[in-house]
Structure 1
Amino acid sequence: MTAAETGSPRERKTETRKRLITEAVLDSGSATAQDLATRFGVSIVTIHRDLDELERRGVVRKFHGGVTAQPSGIFESQMSYRLATMTSEKRAIAETALQHVHPGMSILLDDSTTTLKMVDGLPDRAPLHVATTFVAGLRQLSELTHDHNLTVIGIGGRYDVAHDSFVGVQTNEQVRGLHVDAVFMSTSAVSATDMFHQEEQIVALKREMLNSASKKYLLVDHTKLGRLALLKIASLTELDLIITDAGADPEVLAAWAAAGIDYAVAS
């Protein structure tokens, strides 16, 4: 049970406030410490203490004078924000991606909330071998293995709370030791020619995942298109297919078509 359920009245009040702060930041994307202090009727010192704890949990990211859940060219949005945004678009993209999964395949899923939407549809395509670094994905897959012919391969390493995933040298080495029929991944920024990410450790891992697969599928909702981030992962010409949603900018799609980059738009 949580502190909000078992602690003293003061602890329960503090946990309730942190939950409401989280909801407020996820809803708006960002907030200033002063606005939050005014909204919840507490001091700036108290708000900063709450925000420090929420940042430690990987829920939000602090900046001078406030807090954000939104991505930037240097930082990716936190897991809670990613799980709460573009859910219908991600579901449509995942359903289209599942059309490329067939019985007997081995597949690799990254730690994206878009590929997570594929998991519930995998039993219909069993038997499968499914590998992932994503702890949320492993939880869902482990439940499905009881009644379906799914062989789950958990790729370990150093746990990163912000991504709810394993990363680092050990993780990269384990991925390097695999060869799968297909990898399904997402990323935070995609231009007309390349895919990017803000974090060096994630870029290194995604490159290893691409190298380990015969077929390479990129799953990205339209909010990630026409954007740049700090580090390039790969050229889009290295991919077999990009799957996006109906909100995609027609100019981006036209640029892909002109460059001979295959894509599909999930309806």
Structure 2
Amino acid sequence: MLAAARQALILDEVQRRGAATVSELAGRFEVSEMTIRRDLDALVARGALDKVHGGATTRRQPGAPSTDEPGFRAKRLRQQAEKEAIATAAAALVEPGSAVGLSAGTTTWALARHLRQIPRLTVVTNSIRIADELHDDDRTDLAVVLTGGVRTPSDALVGPVAVSSLRLLHLDVVFLGVHGIDAAAGFTTPNLLEADTDRALVAAGRRLVVVADHTKWATVGISTIARLDDADVLVTDDALPDDARQTLAEHVGELILAPTPQTNGSR
């Protein structure tokens, strides 16, 4: 197959799925990973895709509509190093024996992997991916509670069923992943039903910790989940711009900047 034809098929595949890894594409087109990397470089140079560590995603459009909601696969491949650094810092805030709430999202999904190391936890989540990540038949001291609800493109369970299941719960700490952070709009999401569910999760917690990488700054979704000053802690990465640091430090209870290793393709 000629390179141009293969690149057109790769573009179709990534646009259809939202994201794809180099290994997946190499298997799909029966070529080497090096060939796929060259194809992705060509597509990125044309402005057709965004290249991320280990693969590619659909192109992120500046000023995207406030209802634009990328799928879980696309978001999972973006800012991987930053999300891992944030997850490490956030996990340090969890005490053994706690009741923890995790909203749906790829940053909270990264956090879930670290929570597996903490004993005697009860985790409440509206994320199928997080519940799967935490499931362990050999753990008797880890309880995972999954809300019901309607599934969104980001694999969150939302809607009246999810909200009603959260209203009677009392959690020690809630970790909230968000689509956007803005000085005026606060913490936002592009999904109205997800906003209702996240607000119910926030209300169930005694302490709110927002986990979000630096690219969420100055992004606004259609619905506000919480104001900036509702957050007891915001954990983000050290690529956050100076103006954002100043604004957020004035509003959130505590601002934690997780150091991110500088690796090729991580930004």
TM range (shorter): 0.7 to 0.9
Moved more, 67-76 or 255-264: 67-76
> Within 5 A, what are the aligned runs for 1:85-104?
85-104=78-97
| 2:194 match | 202
| Sequence identity percentage | 23
**Where does the alignment leave 5 or more consecutive residues of structure 2 unmatched?**
1-7, 21-57, 260-267
**Where does the alignment leave 5 or more consecutive residues of structure 1 unmatched?**
1-16, 28-66
CA distance in 1, matches of 2:14, 2:112: 26
CA distance in 2, matches of 1:252, 1:20: 35
Q: Quote the offset at 1:68 in angstroms.
A: 6.2
Query: Which TM-score applies when normalising by structure 2?
Result: 0.73
Specify the SS of the correspondent of 1:180: coil
CA distance in 1, matches of 2:252, 2:157: 34
CA distance in 2, matches of 1:174, 1:139: 19
Alignment root-mean-square deviation, CA: 2.2
Aligned AA for 2:257?
V
| 1:3 match | none
Q: Quote the offset at 1:241 in angstroms.
A: 0.2
Higher Cα Rg: structure 1 or 2? Answer: 1
In the alignment, which of 132, 138, 142 is matched to residue 146 of structure 1?
138
Higher helix share: 1
Size of the alignment, in residue pairs?
210
| 2:123 match | 130
| 2:156 match | 165
Instruction: Answer yes or no: is the 8 Å Cα contact 1:126–1:148 preserved in 2.
Output: no
| 1:74 match | 67
CA distance in 2, matches of 1:186, 1:126: 23
CA-to-partner distance for each residue in 1:23-48, whole Å, 9 max, x for gaps? 36637xxxxxxxxxxxxxxxxxxxxx
CA distance in 2, matches of 1:122, 1:145: 16
CA distance in 1, matches of 2:197, 2:99: 18
Query: Which TM-score applies when normalising by structure 1?
Result: 0.73
Q: Which runs of 4+ in 1 moved over 4 A?
A: 17-20, 67-71
Instruction: Answer yes or no: is the 8 Å Cα contact 1:123–1:148 preserved in 2.
Output: no
Is 1:23 aligned with 2:14?
yes
Instruction: Answer yes or no: is the 8 Å Cα contact 2:230–2:252 preserved in 1.
Output: no
Moved more, 195-204 or 99-108: 195-204
| 1:249 match | 241
CA distance in 1, matches of 2:80, 2:234: 18
